[in-house]
């Protein structure tokens, strides 16, 4: 109880750099600039980027630090394969139109983890494409007509 009273007497309210929410950092250093949800989102993004870089390094591919959000911004938050909008709010969900980072030449086929080899893809196209070179949504539609895929 004493610690809480001591905190309240010296409390400082700060604005989150990510979402502008006003919060009071109870623990940790006094220079905390992100609220807890924004910190978790940042940490998940860093883990995702690190995992992709590690997979590319294991396959002896050229590796750049690729920020998925920069790729999504570059591609206008739209799937480069089928053209549907991929809303930022759906990032990390299981919705068909959730944005995902796709490698034009898949890492499994010797592609590099670079900005030049990445694109925005909806979750559906990215999962259907898998590691197929030269895949397009037309291939999936043709497969559906003969009873394969989708």
Which pLDDT belongs to residue 117? 94
Which pLDDT belongs to residue 147? 47
Which pLDDT belongs to residue 75? 96
How far CA 107 is from CA of 27, 52, 56, 119, in Å, comes to: 41, 9, 6, 13
Which residue, 91, 150, 78, 67, is CA-closest to 121?
Answer: 78
Which pLDDT belongs to residue 110? 85
Q: What is the pLDDT of residues 50-86, one digit of tens each?
A: 887 787 777 777 888 888 999 999 999 999 999 999 9
Q: Are 53 and 36 in contact (CB under 8 A)?
A: no
Residues of the chain with pLDDT under 50: 146-150
Which pLDDT belongs to residue 146? 45
Domain ranges of the chain: 35-145
Q: Are 34 and 16 in contact (CB under 8 A)?
A: yes
Q: Rounded CA gap, 89 and 101, in Å?
A: 15
Domain topology for 35-145: DNA Binding (I), subunit A (1.10.30)
Q: Are 17 and 34 in contact (CB under 8 A)?
A: yes
């Amino acid at each position: 109880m004493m610690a809480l009273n001591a905190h309240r007497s010296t409390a400082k309210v700060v604005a989150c750099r990510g979402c502008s929410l006003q919060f009071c950092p109870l623990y940790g250093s006094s220079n905390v600039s992100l609220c807890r949800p924004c910190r978790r989102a940042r940490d998940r993004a860093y883990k995702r980027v690190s995992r992709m870089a590690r997979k590319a390094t294991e396959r002896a591919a050229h590796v750049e630090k690729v920020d998925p959000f920069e790729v999504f911004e570059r591609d206008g938050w739209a799937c480069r394969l089928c053209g549907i909008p991929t809303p930022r709010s759906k990032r990390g969900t299981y919705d068909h139109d959730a944005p995902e980072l796709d490698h034009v030449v898949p890492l499994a086929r010797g592609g590099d983890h670079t900005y030049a080899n990445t694109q925005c893809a909806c979750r559906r196209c990215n999962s259907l494409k898998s590691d197929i070179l030269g895949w397009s949504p037309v291939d999936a539609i043709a497969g559906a007509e003969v009873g394969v895929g989708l």
